[in-house]
C-alpha cells in the first residue's frame, strides 16, 4: 500500500476523509469563529473585568482581528446567511479593541480596518 505524501504519518485516514466532506462555507465559518474567540480572549472579554484580565494582549488581539477581517472580506460572498453575524462579530471586536486602547487608532487605522473601512 502506497501512502499519500500529503497526509501526515500520524493522521487518521478517516479524519482526513471527514474533512474532505466538510463544505467550504463551514470551514470558513469555523475559522472565523476561532479567530473571533481568540481575539475576544486577547481583549480580556471573558474576564469579569477585561482591564484586569491576565490574558489581555492588545498586540495579539490586533493581529487576530486583522486576520479575521481579511478572511471575512475575502470570503463574504460565500458565507450566505452567515455573513451578517460574522460581520457583526468582527465589528464588535473592532469596537472593543478601540475601547480597550489607551490611545485609540485613527479611524481607518484600527485592526482590520484596511479591509473593512473605518468602524464607528
pLDDT digits (tens, 9 = 90+) for 37-68: 999 999 999 999 999 999 999 999 999 999 99
The pTM of this model reads: 0.84
pLDDT digits (tens, 9 = 90+) for 24-37: 999 999 999 999 99
Biggest CA pair distance of the chain: 60
DSSP string, 34-100: HHHHHHHHHTTTTSSSGGG-TT--HHHHHHHHHHHHHHHHHHGGG-GGGHHHHHHHHHHHHHHHHHH
Sort 110 into a burial class: Cβ within 10 Å, 0-12 / 13-18 / 19+.
buried
Cell reading at 43: 481583549
Amino acid at each position: 500500500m502506497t501512502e499519500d505524501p500529503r497526509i501526515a504519518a500520524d493522521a487518521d485516514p478517516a479524519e482526513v476523509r471527514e474533512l474532505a466532506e466538510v463544505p467550504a462555507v463551514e470551514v470558513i465559518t469555523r475559522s472565523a469563529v476561532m479567530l473571533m474567540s481568540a481575539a475576544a480572549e486577547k481583549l480580556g472579554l471573558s474576564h469579569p473585568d477585561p482591564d484586569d484580565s491576565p490574558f489581555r494582549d492588545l498586540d495579539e488581539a490586533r493581529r487576530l482581528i486583522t486576520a479575521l477581517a481579511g478572511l471575512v472580506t475575502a470570503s463574504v460572498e460565500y458565507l450566505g446567511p452567515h455573513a451578517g453575524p460574522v460581520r457583526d462579530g468582527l465589528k464588535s471586536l473592532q469596537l472593543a479593541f478601540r475601547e480597550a486602547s489607551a490611545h485609540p487608532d485613527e479611524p481607518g487605522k484600527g485592526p482590520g480596518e484596511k479591509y473593512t473601512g473605518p468602524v464607528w
